[in-house]
Structure 1
Amino acid sequence: MNINGRISKLLLLACALLIHIPAHSQLQVVGDGGPGPVKAQHLTAELVSLSPSIAPGGTLQVGLVLTLEEHWHVYWLNAGDSGEPPKIIWTLPDGVTAGPMQFPIPSRLPLGPLMDFGYEDSVAFPVKLTAAASVKPGPIHLDAKVNWLVCREVCIPGKAHLGLNLTVSPDAAPAQPVGALGEALSLIPTPLPANAKLTVTGGKTDLVLTLITGKRETDAEFYPVDQDQIANAAPQPVEPLPDGIRLRVHHSDDLKTLPAQLHGVLKLSDTVAYDVTAPVTPGEIAPAPGSTAPGAPDTSSVTVLGAIGLAFVGGIILNLMPCVFPVLFLKGLALLQSSGEERSRLRSHGIVYTLGILVSFWAIVGVLLALRAGGSQAGWGFQLQSPVFLTLLAAGIFFFALSLAGLFDIGLSLTSVGGELAQKQGYTGSFFTGVLATVVATPCTAPLMGAAIGFALAQPAGITFAVFTALGLGLATPYLLLSFQPAWTRILPRPGAWMEIFKQITAVIFFATVIWLTYVYGSLFAGGASGGQGIYRVALLLGCFLTLAIAGWVLGKWPARWSSTIAAIVIAALGLAIPLYQPKDTTLVWTPYSQQALDQARAAGHPVFIDFTAAWCLSCQVNERAVLKSADVQHQFSKNKVTLLRADWTQYDPEITKQLASVNRSGVPTYVIYPATKNSTPDVLPELLTKSIVLTALEKDTKQ
């Protein structure tokens, strides 16, 4: 919290207190010096003891019990963003001393954009009494002046005069921990067990607490004893470990330098918490896309084998994506024309093709991990944020498309489609076709890939390589199976002249890809997917050029025919209409994503839809035009007053990368709905959208 925010918070608290303080500036004190219970505003206070007697030289647990009205709360030792903890001022007989008030395990209590730490319903605060050996047997009286602050939307201070009558007796029996005080004693945070270890790493914005307990933990929260060390209201993502847990907390905005040590309570459940103190070691902190946080979907059940399985199935599905399918189909045609070859040679082609995919994936993962080791937060598709890579990719695909169109025969070596070159250089062609399949796959994210990649990028390098290897094997599997069972190619049409026509049709698909890559390249310099309408119009003009090229192909294929001439004129007219037609834009306005915009919308009680997108993400563009801009979805957005945020990841943005990680994703497309209700769990939608998916999610998440 910055200094202005803290001042505002204190002013609000002061105003609330002033409203409820009587004009004579003296709070009404309840109680007559007895144990109670006594009724005050919104709570009942009472002093209790585990036993009516204490032995000379012995100890006894007494405590303050507060029972609160529904939705009202009192505070922990560190109250959080506002408030004060209860206090007791004792007046005790000679020889009797009272230890500090002890605080049971607290809870996080959100209040608008703030976060308090405290207790609702009821709570007991134990205090340990010690009687000196010299204390004479007989009755004694303990006098207590109690102060508290009880809050809901407003805060009301309270005071009570309480007391306990005890007996000092050498025959005092050991007290049993029963009742509210006994329960509170069981909830006092304890020191870490001897076999447990806590380390704290401090980064530029976060502190990462790694607790090793010897068993897998699934939940954790950290409550600092010292104020202004962490951002109290920020989510605290957790990452379960096989032998413990890793917890990430965000620095307070007031924290200018890392603290020497971190002291607080590490809560693992409502009944288990540890009082911890650990030195803070400065270091680089990697993002945690596989983590879960309060208010985020729980993916802690994802295991290494589960992520590998998801990646493999996602890789198979990736073959059906528009960016990859033409390459796979061309390889199927290669099998048709080479069906006369020995089966062992066909299998070798499949293995070499698979090797080309795997080597490409390994290269991508190696670069990605190197970037992350250098402090960059890169994710799937990161290479499409590079103008140099886009230039090389667009030029290579354009060159390949010209060959498919029949201008020259480089396609023979690249795709192994028949002929003498395929026999001499077929293995090279198969390998580089695998490389091409990987390259054109990077703009796409298939179903199941998001969770697998998000998990992989939060793991050690070995697991990351294993998950991406499974993804590559999934991508290679369809062709690999065809090469081992060439009889399955019977499902494809028989070889013939149609294959040449199909190659030319495929060239059109790749030319369209070049247009899209040109748009992406321009978007890197013109505001990305959320802006750059000029770049969008350029893309439409290039689409016109492509359509005119198709019209020219029709004239060349069927020369001197009226039917072909009329068809070419119609196609050319449609092409000219692409850049000239300007439909009226009735779509709703999307606001650029920022954490502040998200927080403001949620604080105002509005549902929020975040579109994580990028100009280079083909799936994103399809989802946007086919689903998000549809009349039905737009109507529901407007009807339910949904705040629309667009997180444009065309160029690297650390804030967007961090938000992706908070919902367990590391790439785009990603779509998240935050319901209107406070502290609600965000709803992460599938990578491929339909109107039904979005409308169903909106109906569920916008209910009040």
Structure 2
Amino acid sequence: MIKMILPRVLRLLPALLLALVLPSLHGQIGITVGNGGPGPVKAQHLTVEMISAGPQIAASGKQTVAFVFSMETGWHVYWRNAGFAGYPPRVKWTLPTGITTGDLQFPAPDRLPLDTTVDYGYEDSVAYPVTVEAAPKLKPDAKGNVHLTAKLDWLVCKEVCVPGKADLGLDLKLMPAGTQVSHDGETVGELGAALKSMPKPIPPAFKLTANSVGDNIYLTAVTGTNETDAEFYPMESDVIADAANVQAFGLADGAQIHMQRSPAAKTPPPTLHGLLKFSPEESYEITLPIVPGAPAFLAGGSTTPTDSGATKLTAVSAVALAFVGGMLLNLMPCVFPVLFLKALSLLQSSTEEKHRVRAHGVAYTLGIVASFWLVVAALLALRAGGKQFGWGFQLQSPGFVVVLAAFLFFFALSLSGMFELGLSLTSTGNALTRKTGYTGSFFTGVLATVVATPCVGPFMGAAIGFALAQPAVVTFLVFTSLALGLAAPYLALTLQPAWVRLLPKPGAWMEVLKQVTALPLFGFVIWLVYIYGRLFSGPNTGSDGILRMTLLLTCLLLIAIAAWALGRWPANRWSTIAAVLITIGALAIPLSASHEDATATVWKTFSAEEVQQARASGKAVFVDFTAAWCLSCQVNERVVLNSGEVKKQLQAPNVVPMRADWTQYDPKITAALQAVGRSGVPTYIIYPANPQAAPDVLPEVLSKSVVMDAMAKDLKR
């Protein structure tokens, strides 16, 4: 995951730095170009201009204008879904009364591979068309024209990314209603090329299906002709993995595209919405339900893109692949430390009787198998209820992620030498009773399963994808084989204790290696913190994902303090009690937040125009001026704004809650703050329903009574 995220951060870092230093550049990189004319104007690494398909527009008529970008060699701008990184051009219009514009339109893009990922966009040149419509009673200016003013911003990328802005404008001659005006530009040049490549509706003769098996998604298009260059572009991010290489197969009567679900997607997508492209001038916008299960025909002679060229799977081959995949899973960073500790305990228990050593191996294996059976039983129960989940579905539960991250962090602190947890829970040579020792081996198997769930080793993807689409008996067989493969290395050593002699003799190296094994666990915990934040990231959540990550990091800090107490006063009853209490308190911090009332307030993005519209319609507006870096903002939000009474009031039909996020500088938010005599956050303003009433500015430190009393007062004004 980190390997995937790092290139995005590195490529966007220059753009972020530019945003910070722009005020001091005075006419250099990234400032606004253009003087309000049509251009073309030169910006960093591209030229941009505003054109029209014709010089006129008729009252009650339409005209097409466009923004044309011409990039330097190797540089590109973006489609509506930028792919792995970036963002598309955005435009803000200033228009005379009676002129309206449609949304920015996007021609069919190209795939722009970036090592293992891909962007969606355009190189060389591209036009983004916009439809302009004139009202019947539109009045021209003194010269008989209507003037369109556009503030355009974009991101252009190569190895680095550079933001740009332009002030552009265009005059259209206003003609009487019914006049036939020229649209010749719609068939020539960049505008003509863009309009030709716009997606079209799906022809009735086409037959399209989308299927899913595990994390794999298959799009099959039957068009009646052989399609050799089929491509799919998802309309939304975090649905399909932005992979540089996607398998597409031409069929005699169509094409089939093999894709993988995005690792950032919380659940399998119910629909496939995107652009199906067969050539630069033939593309179609599609929305299909994704049907669980393999497609009727699988192109390419393989089962999944991760199948490494294997032939079509059968139940027997899936069971075999699962066993091999389970064995290789022991080498994954999340599992290897557990296996290492078991092997370490085996070295230290060489004097035990053989039958006891073997019994521990069987107990460890039973712990793994039982855990896998619980996982597959849960998957089958969910499938029977109409839901679809894949391997590792537990990581979609915030509570599970919190407990797993805390446990592994505590475990890694012990391995690194901060305190001595001992091998009593993982060793076959512990000082506990025989029954407790076998219980320890059993639950070590459970631990191995828990830490293995986020990992998909070689051969596992094909086997698990096949298993989840099969009857329950086959699913159980494949997962049992996977469990046995995971348990096999340690079980083999216990069944043949003589093989232990092949391992290095006990010595000081064991302690050093034990500390080294803590490193992958710490890395794994970092990834879990990231996953936890992503579980709370989405529309209208503001900085909630960042806040939740902060809560989990606070939990880990307290756990580190508990571990320090155990190391400072080892084998001390009071230090143990203190560590337990601190750990319980630490877990309560993120867990209590993870189980909050799901009826969260839906905050609209702040807009001064929408504030006026809401007040004109008889509604009061509550605006939360906040920022991710504002600690008191987060406290007020959690303690007051998310409380039941305040949420109920904010969700009333005569109240519009808005959030003005000032995490990044926004001149409109700055202006709104200055209008009420404020220059920072937190700031809370209630705009009464009466447009003539003055805004009510609340104190920086909120309480429930302050908000409720102010709301009650302002709703009456």
Q: Please give the range of the TM-score, normalised by the shorter of the 2 chains.
A: 0.3 to 0.5
Max Rg structure: 1
After TM superposition, the score normalised by the length of structure 1 is 0.41
